[in-house]
Structure 1
Protein backbone atom coordinates (compact mmCIF):
# COMPACT_ATOMS: atom_id res chain seq x y z
CA UNK A 1 0.00 0.00 0.00
CA UNK A 2 1.33 3.39 -0.98
CA UNK A 3 1.70 5.80 1.92
CA UNK A 4 0.01 9.19 1.88
CA UNK A 5 1.96 12.10 0.50
CA UNK A 6 3.06 14.63 3.04
CA UNK A 7 3.09 18.38 2.60
CA UNK A 8 4.70 20.58 5.22
CA UNK A 9 5.13 17.51 7.39
CA UNK A 10 1.41 16.58 7.35
CA UNK A 11 -0.52 13.96 5.43
CA UNK A 12 -3.70 14.78 3.50
CA UNK A 13 -5.85 13.30 6.26
CA UNK A 14 -4.03 15.31 8.90
CA UNK A 15 -4.49 18.51 6.92
CA UNK A 16 -8.18 17.79 6.48
CA UNK A 17 -8.53 17.18 10.21
CA UNK A 18 -6.73 20.45 10.90
CA UNK A 19 -9.08 22.33 8.56
CA UNK A 20 -12.14 20.75 10.18
CA UNK A 21 -10.82 21.67 13.62
CA UNK A 22 -10.24 25.25 12.48
CA UNK A 23 -13.78 25.51 11.11
CA UNK A 24 -15.25 24.15 14.34
CA UNK A 25 -13.13 26.59 16.32
CA UNK A 26 -14.51 29.44 14.22
CA UNK A 27 -18.05 28.09 14.72
CA UNK A 28 -17.55 28.02 18.49
CA UNK A 29 -16.39 31.61 18.49
CA UNK A 30 -19.22 32.85 16.27
CA UNK A 31 -21.96 31.00 18.14
CA UNK A 32 -20.51 31.85 21.51
CA UNK A 33 -20.07 35.57 20.90
CA UNK A 34 -22.43 36.60 18.08
CA UNK A 35 -25.21 34.02 17.78
CA UNK A 36 -26.54 31.55 15.26
CA UNK A 37 -27.65 34.21 12.76
CA UNK A 38 -23.99 35.08 12.17
CA UNK A 39 -23.02 31.47 11.47
CA UNK A 40 -22.59 31.74 7.69
CA UNK A 41 -20.23 29.97 5.33
CA UNK A 42 -18.29 33.16 4.65
CA UNK A 43 -18.00 33.99 8.37
CA UNK A 44 -16.84 30.47 9.20
CA UNK A 45 -14.23 30.42 6.47
CA UNK A 46 -13.03 33.91 7.33
CA UNK A 47 -12.72 32.95 11.00
CA UNK A 48 -10.86 29.75 10.12
CA UNK A 49 -8.68 31.44 7.49
CA UNK A 50 -9.78 28.95 4.84
CA UNK A 51 -11.21 28.91 1.32
CA UNK A 52 -14.95 28.10 1.13
CA UNK A 53 -14.27 24.86 -0.72
CA UNK A 54 -12.86 23.44 2.50
CA UNK A 55 -16.15 24.12 4.24
CA UNK A 56 -17.99 21.99 1.70
CA UNK A 57 -15.29 19.35 1.99
CA UNK A 58 -16.30 18.87 5.63
CA UNK A 59 -19.92 19.89 6.09
CA UNK A 60 -23.20 19.51 4.22
CA UNK A 61 -24.79 22.53 5.88
CA UNK A 62 -25.18 24.57 9.05
CA UNK A 63 -26.90 21.78 10.98
CA UNK A 64 -23.91 19.55 10.26
CA UNK A 65 -21.60 22.19 11.74
CA UNK A 66 -23.80 22.52 14.83
CA UNK A 67 -23.99 18.76 15.27
CA UNK A 68 -20.24 18.30 14.93
CA UNK A 69 -19.50 21.11 17.38
CA UNK A 70 -22.08 19.81 19.85
CA UNK A 71 -20.59 16.30 19.61
CA UNK A 72 -17.09 17.68 20.18
CA UNK A 73 -18.19 19.43 23.37
CA UNK A 74 -20.07 16.31 24.51
CA UNK A 75 -16.94 14.21 24.01
CA UNK A 76 -14.92 16.74 26.02
CA UNK A 77 -17.53 16.55 28.79
CA UNK A 78 -17.46 12.75 28.85
CA UNK A 79 -13.67 12.72 28.99
CA UNK A 80 -13.66 15.24 31.85
CA UNK A 81 -16.31 13.32 33.80
CA UNK A 82 -14.46 10.01 33.51
CA UNK A 83 -11.14 11.62 34.42
CA UNK A 84 -12.78 13.14 37.49
CA UNK A 85 -14.23 9.80 38.52
CA UNK A 86 -10.96 7.95 38.06
CA UNK A 87 -8.93 10.48 40.03
CA UNK A 88 -11.32 10.73 43.00
CA UNK A 89 -11.09 8.63 46.19
CA UNK A 90 -13.30 5.56 46.40
CA UNK A 91 -16.10 7.40 48.18
CA UNK A 92 -19.62 8.20 47.00
CA UNK A 93 -19.49 11.93 47.58
CA UNK A 94 -15.90 12.30 46.39
CA UNK A 95 -16.71 10.52 43.12
CA UNK A 96 -19.87 12.53 42.51
CA UNK A 97 -18.22 15.82 43.45
CA UNK A 98 -15.21 15.22 41.17
CA UNK A 99 -17.33 14.27 38.17
CA UNK A 100 -19.81 17.12 38.61
CA UNK A 101 -17.03 19.65 39.15
CA UNK A 102 -15.25 18.50 36.00
CA UNK A 103 -18.40 18.66 33.87
CA UNK A 104 -19.58 22.03 35.11
CA UNK A 105 -16.11 23.49 34.67
CA UNK A 106 -16.01 22.46 31.01
CA UNK A 107 -19.16 24.48 30.34
CA UNK A 108 -18.36 27.46 32.53
CA UNK A 109 -14.64 28.06 32.06
CA UNK A 110 -15.43 28.71 28.39
CA UNK A 111 -19.00 30.13 28.37
CA UNK A 112 -19.12 29.80 24.58
CA UNK A 113 -19.53 26.03 24.99
CA UNK A 114 -22.61 26.43 27.16
CA UNK A 115 -24.09 28.85 24.62
CA UNK A 116 -23.55 26.27 21.88
CA UNK A 117 -25.43 23.70 23.96
CA UNK A 118 -28.29 26.19 24.38
CA UNK A 119 -28.39 26.96 20.66
CA UNK A 120 -28.31 23.33 19.55
CA UNK A 121 -30.98 22.26 22.04
CA UNK A 122 -33.51 24.63 20.47
CA UNK A 123 -32.31 25.26 16.90
CA UNK A 124 -34.20 22.63 14.87
CA UNK A 125 -36.26 19.47 15.54
CA UNK A 126 -33.33 17.33 14.37
CA UNK A 127 -30.90 19.08 16.72
CA UNK A 128 -33.36 18.89 19.61
CA UNK A 129 -33.52 15.15 19.01
CA UNK A 130 -29.72 15.03 19.04
CA UNK A 131 -29.71 16.80 22.40
CA UNK A 132 -32.17 14.23 23.77
CA UNK A 133 -29.98 11.36 22.55
CA UNK A 134 -26.90 12.96 24.10
CA UNK A 135 -28.64 13.35 27.46
CA UNK A 136 -29.62 9.68 27.24
CA UNK A 137 -25.99 8.72 26.53
CA UNK A 138 -24.81 10.62 29.61
CA UNK A 139 -27.58 9.03 31.68
CA UNK A 140 -26.38 5.61 30.50
CA UNK A 141 -22.85 6.60 31.53
CA UNK A 142 -24.05 7.64 35.01
CA UNK A 143 -26.04 4.41 35.36
CA UNK A 144 -23.08 2.26 34.29
CA UNK A 145 -20.71 4.02 36.69
CA UNK A 146 -23.23 3.62 39.50
CA UNK A 147 -23.70 -0.08 38.81
CA UNK A 148 -19.94 -0.55 38.86
CA UNK A 149 -19.39 1.56 41.99
CA UNK A 150 -22.09 -0.18 44.02
CA UNK A 151 -21.13 -3.64 42.77
CA UNK A 152 -24.53 -4.47 41.28
CA UNK A 153 -24.16 -7.78 39.49
CA UNK A 154 -27.68 -8.60 38.28
CA UNK A 155 -27.84 -9.40 34.57
CA UNK A 156 -30.92 -7.17 34.31
CA UNK A 157 -30.35 -4.15 36.57
CA UNK A 158 -33.36 -2.58 38.26
CA UNK A 159 -35.12 -0.17 35.82
CA UNK A 160 -35.04 2.44 38.59
CA UNK A 161 -31.31 2.82 37.95
CA UNK A 162 -31.93 4.08 34.44
CA UNK A 163 -34.84 6.19 35.60
CA UNK A 164 -32.86 7.96 38.30
CA UNK A 165 -29.82 8.43 36.07
CA UNK A 166 -32.02 10.06 33.40
CA UNK A 167 -33.74 12.18 36.05
CA UNK A 168 -30.42 13.35 37.44
CA UNK A 169 -28.77 14.16 34.11
CA UNK A 170 -31.86 15.79 32.61
CA UNK A 171 -32.41 17.80 35.76
CA UNK A 172 -28.79 18.89 35.87
CA UNK A 173 -28.91 20.06 32.25
CA UNK A 174 -32.00 22.19 32.89
CA UNK A 175 -30.61 23.52 36.16
CA UNK A 176 -27.28 24.41 34.59
CA UNK A 177 -28.95 26.23 31.73
CA UNK A 178 -31.12 28.20 34.17
CA UNK A 179 -28.03 29.04 36.22
CA UNK A 180 -26.11 30.20 33.17
CA UNK A 181 -29.00 32.49 32.28
CA UNK A 182 -28.90 34.01 35.75
CA UNK A 183 -32.13 32.47 37.02
CA UNK A 184 -30.49 30.66 39.95
CA UNK A 185 -28.56 33.04 42.27
CA UNK A 186 -25.74 30.72 43.32
CA UNK A 187 -21.98 30.72 42.86
CA UNK A 188 -20.45 27.97 40.77
CA UNK A 189 -19.09 26.27 43.89
CA UNK A 190 -22.53 26.39 45.51
CA UNK A 191 -24.03 24.89 42.36
CA UNK A 192 -21.48 22.06 42.44
CA UNK A 193 -22.15 21.34 46.12
CA UNK A 194 -25.93 21.39 45.73
CA UNK A 195 -25.79 19.15 42.66
CA UNK A 196 -23.48 16.73 44.46
CA UNK A 197 -25.95 16.57 47.36
CA UNK A 198 -28.76 15.53 45.01
CA UNK A 199 -26.69 12.91 43.16
CA UNK A 200 -25.46 11.37 46.42
CA UNK A 201 -28.91 11.39 48.01
CA UNK A 202 -30.63 9.63 45.11
CA UNK A 203 -27.72 7.27 44.45
CA UNK A 204 -27.31 6.11 48.04
CA UNK A 205 -31.06 5.78 48.53
CA UNK A 206 -31.43 3.61 45.44
CA UNK A 207 -28.44 1.46 46.38
CA UNK A 208 -30.06 0.75 49.76
CA UNK A 209 -33.35 -0.19 48.11
CA UNK A 210 -31.68 -2.59 45.68
CA UNK A 211 -29.68 -4.30 48.45
CA UNK A 212 -32.79 -5.12 50.52
Structure 2
Protein backbone atom coordinates (compact mmCIF):
# COMPACT_ATOMS: atom_id res chain seq x y z
CA UNK A 1 0.00 0.00 0.00
CA UNK A 2 1.39 3.38 -0.97
CA UNK A 3 2.36 5.68 1.88
CA UNK A 4 -0.11 8.50 2.52
CA UNK A 5 1.28 11.89 1.46
CA UNK A 6 1.74 14.44 4.20
CA UNK A 7 1.93 18.23 4.15
CA UNK A 8 3.26 20.14 7.12
CA UNK A 9 3.53 16.87 9.01
CA UNK A 10 -0.20 16.12 8.62
CA UNK A 11 -1.82 13.36 6.61
CA UNK A 12 -4.69 14.05 4.22
CA UNK A 13 -7.13 12.60 6.78
CA UNK A 14 -5.76 14.84 9.52
CA UNK A 15 -6.05 17.92 7.30
CA UNK A 16 -9.67 17.03 6.49
CA UNK A 17 -10.37 16.67 10.21
CA UNK A 18 -8.82 20.09 10.83
CA UNK A 19 -10.94 21.70 8.12
CA UNK A 20 -14.09 20.06 9.46
CA UNK A 21 -13.28 21.27 12.96
CA UNK A 22 -12.64 24.80 11.67
CA UNK A 23 -16.01 24.81 9.88
CA UNK A 24 -17.80 23.64 13.02
CA UNK A 25 -16.05 26.32 15.07
CA UNK A 26 -17.18 28.86 12.49
CA UNK A 27 -20.76 27.57 12.63
CA UNK A 28 -20.78 27.77 16.42
CA UNK A 29 -19.53 31.36 16.28
CA UNK A 30 -22.09 32.44 13.67
CA UNK A 31 -25.04 30.83 15.44
CA UNK A 32 -23.93 32.09 18.83
CA UNK A 33 -23.29 35.69 17.81
CA UNK A 34 -25.53 36.31 14.80
CA UNK A 35 -28.29 33.72 15.02
CA UNK A 36 -29.22 30.55 13.18
CA UNK A 37 -30.67 32.44 10.21
CA UNK A 38 -27.20 33.80 9.40
CA UNK A 39 -25.64 30.35 9.03
CA UNK A 40 -24.74 29.91 5.36
CA UNK A 41 -22.12 27.95 3.47
CA UNK A 42 -20.34 31.09 2.36
CA UNK A 43 -20.50 32.58 5.85
CA UNK A 44 -19.06 29.47 7.44
CA UNK A 45 -16.24 29.25 4.91
CA UNK A 46 -15.39 32.93 5.22
CA UNK A 47 -15.34 32.64 9.01
CA UNK A 48 -13.14 29.54 8.80
CA UNK A 49 -10.89 30.97 6.09
CA UNK A 50 -11.59 28.07 3.75
CA UNK A 51 -12.68 27.65 0.15
CA UNK A 52 -16.34 26.61 -0.17
CA UNK A 53 -15.36 23.30 -1.78
CA UNK A 54 -14.08 22.17 1.60
CA UNK A 55 -17.56 22.52 3.08
CA UNK A 56 -18.88 19.80 0.76
CA UNK A 57 -15.93 17.63 1.70
CA UNK A 58 -17.47 17.19 5.17
CA UNK A 59 -21.13 18.20 5.02
CA UNK A 60 -24.08 17.67 2.72
CA UNK A 61 -26.51 20.11 4.30
CA UNK A 62 -26.96 22.65 7.06
CA UNK A 63 -28.72 19.97 9.11
CA UNK A 64 -25.53 17.89 8.93
CA UNK A 65 -23.57 20.83 10.36
CA UNK A 66 -26.06 21.40 13.16
CA UNK A 67 -26.22 17.68 13.96
CA UNK A 68 -22.44 17.58 14.23
CA UNK A 69 -22.50 20.59 16.56
CA UNK A 70 -25.17 19.04 18.77
CA UNK A 71 -23.31 15.72 18.86
CA UNK A 72 -20.05 17.48 19.74
CA UNK A 73 -21.61 19.39 22.63
CA UNK A 74 -23.32 16.21 23.84
CA UNK A 75 -19.96 14.43 23.88
CA UNK A 76 -18.43 17.29 25.88
CA UNK A 77 -21.32 17.03 28.34
CA UNK A 78 -20.89 13.30 28.83
CA UNK A 79 -17.18 13.70 29.53
CA UNK A 80 -17.70 16.62 31.93
CA UNK A 81 -20.57 15.00 33.84
CA UNK A 82 -18.92 11.59 34.21
CA UNK A 83 -15.60 13.15 35.25
CA UNK A 84 -17.32 15.32 37.86
CA UNK A 85 -19.38 12.44 39.23
CA UNK A 86 -16.43 10.09 39.47
CA UNK A 87 -14.09 12.59 41.15
CA UNK A 88 -16.60 14.04 43.60
CA UNK A 89 -16.51 12.90 47.22
CA UNK A 90 -19.25 12.83 49.79
CA UNK A 91 -22.81 11.62 49.80
CA UNK A 92 -25.30 11.27 46.96
CA UNK A 93 -26.14 14.97 47.04
CA UNK A 94 -22.47 16.00 46.75
CA UNK A 95 -21.96 13.73 43.75
CA UNK A 96 -25.19 14.78 42.04
CA UNK A 97 -24.42 18.44 42.68
CA UNK A 98 -20.95 18.10 41.16
CA UNK A 99 -22.26 16.35 38.03
CA UNK A 100 -25.15 18.77 37.53
CA UNK A 101 -22.87 21.77 38.09
CA UNK A 102 -20.44 20.50 35.46
CA UNK A 103 -23.21 19.99 32.90
CA UNK A 104 -25.01 23.28 33.44
CA UNK A 105 -21.78 25.25 33.52
CA UNK A 106 -20.60 23.70 30.26
CA UNK A 107 -23.84 24.70 28.55
CA UNK A 108 -24.16 28.19 30.01
CA UNK A 109 -20.56 29.41 30.38
CA UNK A 110 -20.43 29.69 26.59
CA UNK A 111 -23.62 31.41 25.29
CA UNK A 112 -22.89 30.03 21.82
CA UNK A 113 -23.36 26.48 23.08
CA UNK A 114 -26.53 27.54 24.82
CA UNK A 115 -27.86 28.90 21.54
CA UNK A 116 -27.04 25.68 19.68
CA UNK A 117 -28.57 23.35 22.26
CA UNK A 118 -31.64 25.44 23.04
CA UNK A 119 -32.48 26.84 19.58
CA UNK A 120 -30.63 25.19 16.71
CA UNK A 121 -31.19 21.68 18.10
CA UNK A 122 -34.95 22.09 17.58
CA UNK A 123 -34.84 23.83 14.21
CA UNK A 124 -35.82 20.95 11.91
CA UNK A 125 -37.42 17.48 12.18
CA UNK A 126 -34.01 15.86 11.74
CA UNK A 127 -32.55 17.89 14.57
CA UNK A 128 -35.54 17.36 16.83
CA UNK A 129 -35.21 13.62 16.31
CA UNK A 130 -31.50 13.85 17.11
CA UNK A 131 -32.25 15.84 20.25
CA UNK A 132 -34.76 13.22 21.37
CA UNK A 133 -32.17 10.50 20.88
CA UNK A 134 -29.59 12.59 22.78
CA UNK A 135 -32.00 12.90 25.70
CA UNK A 136 -32.37 9.11 25.66
CA UNK A 137 -28.59 8.75 25.76
CA UNK A 138 -28.33 11.02 28.78
CA UNK A 139 -31.21 9.24 30.48
CA UNK A 140 -29.36 5.94 30.03
CA UNK A 141 -26.23 7.60 31.45
CA UNK A 142 -28.15 8.81 34.52
CA UNK A 143 -29.72 5.37 34.96
CA UNK A 144 -26.33 3.67 34.68
CA UNK A 145 -24.71 6.03 37.18
CA UNK A 146 -27.63 5.51 39.56
CA UNK A 147 -27.44 1.73 39.29
CA UNK A 148 -23.72 1.87 40.05
CA UNK A 149 -24.05 4.34 42.93
CA UNK A 150 -26.88 2.53 44.68
CA UNK A 151 -25.35 -0.89 44.11
CA UNK A 152 -28.20 -2.38 42.09
CA UNK A 153 -27.16 -5.93 41.23
CA UNK A 154 -30.36 -7.23 39.69
CA UNK A 155 -29.56 -8.31 36.08
CA UNK A 156 -32.97 -6.92 35.08
CA UNK A 157 -33.23 -3.64 37.04
CA UNK A 158 -36.64 -2.21 37.90
CA UNK A 159 -38.10 -0.36 34.86
CA UNK A 160 -38.76 2.58 37.19
CA UNK A 161 -35.04 3.40 36.93
CA UNK A 162 -35.30 4.19 33.23
CA UNK A 163 -38.59 5.99 33.78
CA UNK A 164 -37.16 8.25 36.46
CA UNK A 165 -33.95 8.89 34.54
CA UNK A 166 -35.94 9.89 31.44
CA UNK A 167 -38.23 12.07 33.55
CA UNK A 168 -35.25 13.80 35.18
CA UNK A 169 -33.30 14.47 32.00
CA UNK A 170 -36.35 15.57 29.98
CA UNK A 171 -37.50 17.80 32.80
CA UNK A 172 -34.05 19.34 33.16
CA UNK A 173 -33.90 20.15 29.44
CA UNK A 174 -37.24 21.96 29.61
CA UNK A 175 -36.35 23.72 32.85
CA UNK A 176 -32.98 24.85 31.55
CA UNK A 177 -34.63 26.15 28.38
CA UNK A 178 -37.09 28.18 30.45
CA UNK A 179 -34.26 29.50 32.62
CA UNK A 180 -32.18 30.57 29.62
CA UNK A 181 -35.19 32.41 28.21
CA UNK A 182 -35.61 34.27 31.48
CA UNK A 183 -38.87 32.60 32.48
CA UNK A 184 -37.44 31.45 35.82
CA UNK A 185 -36.34 34.30 38.07
CA UNK A 186 -33.55 32.42 39.87
CA UNK A 187 -29.78 32.51 39.69
CA UNK A 188 -27.69 29.75 38.17
CA UNK A 189 -26.48 28.46 41.53
CA UNK A 190 -30.08 28.21 42.71
CA UNK A 191 -31.01 26.42 39.50
CA UNK A 192 -28.26 23.89 40.18
CA UNK A 193 -29.35 23.46 43.81
CA UNK A 194 -33.01 22.93 42.89
CA UNK A 195 -32.08 20.46 40.17
CA UNK A 196 -29.87 18.56 42.60
CA UNK A 197 -32.76 18.39 45.07
CA UNK A 198 -35.00 16.70 42.51
CA UNK A 199 -32.36 14.21 41.32
CA UNK A 200 -31.47 13.22 44.88
CA UNK A 201 -35.11 13.02 45.96
CA UNK A 202 -35.98 10.50 43.26
CA UNK A 203 -32.73 8.58 43.68
CA UNK A 204 -32.97 8.25 47.43
CA UNK A 205 -36.66 7.34 47.21
CA UNK A 206 -35.80 4.52 44.83
CA UNK A 207 -33.03 3.33 47.16
CA UNK A 208 -35.40 3.25 50.13
CA UNK A 209 -38.07 1.35 48.21
CA UNK A 210 -35.55 -1.29 47.16
CA UNK A 211 -33.67 -1.64 50.45
CA UNK A 212 -34.20 -5.24 51.60
CA UNK A 213 -33.67 -4.15 55.20
Common fold, TM-score beyond 0.5?
yes
The question of whether the paired residues in 2 share the 8 Å contact of 1:120 and 1:128 is answered with: no
Distance 1:111 1:195 in 2: 20
Distance 2:175 2:33 in 1: 22
Between 41-50 and 112-121, report the one with greater CA deviation: 112-121
Report the CA distance between 1:37 and its aligned residue: 1.2
Q: TM-score, normalised by structure 1?
A: 0.97
Give unpaired runs (5+ residues) of structure 1. Answer: none
Which residue number corresponds to residue 16 of structure 2?
16
Report the CA distance between 1:9 and its aligned residue: 1.5
Distance 1:90 1:160 in 2: 25
| Equivalent pairs, count | 212
Report the CA distance between 1:90 and its aligned residue: 4.7
Which stretches of structure 1, 4 residues or more, deviate above 6 A after TM superposition? none
Which residue number corresponds to residue 81 of structure 2?
81
**Is 1:111 equivalent to 2:111 in the alignment?**
yes
Distance 2:128 2:2 in 1: 43
Alignment of 1:1-212 (within 5 A): 1-212=1-212
The question of whether the paired residues in 2 share the 8 Å contact of 1:179 and 1:185 is answered with: yes
Report the CA distance between 1:111 and its aligned residue: 1.0
The question of whether the paired residues in 1 share the 8 Å contact of 2:36 and 2:120 is answered with: no
Between 4-13 and 18-27, report the one with greater CA deviation: 4-13
Say what the alpha-carbon RMSD is for the aligned residues. Answer: 1.0
Distance 1:191 1:91 in 2: 20
Q: TM-score, normalised by structure 2?
A: 0.97
The question of whether the paired residues in 1 share the 8 Å contact of 2:89 and 2:95 is answered with: yes
C-alpha distance after superposition, 1:80-100 (max 9, x if no partner): 001101110152011101100
Report the CA distance between 1:121 and its aligned residue: 3.3
SS of equivalent residue, structure 1 residue 186: coil
Report the CA distance between 1:208 and its aligned residue: 1.1
Give unpaired runs (5+ residues) of structure 2. Answer: none
Distance 1:174 1:146 in 2: 21
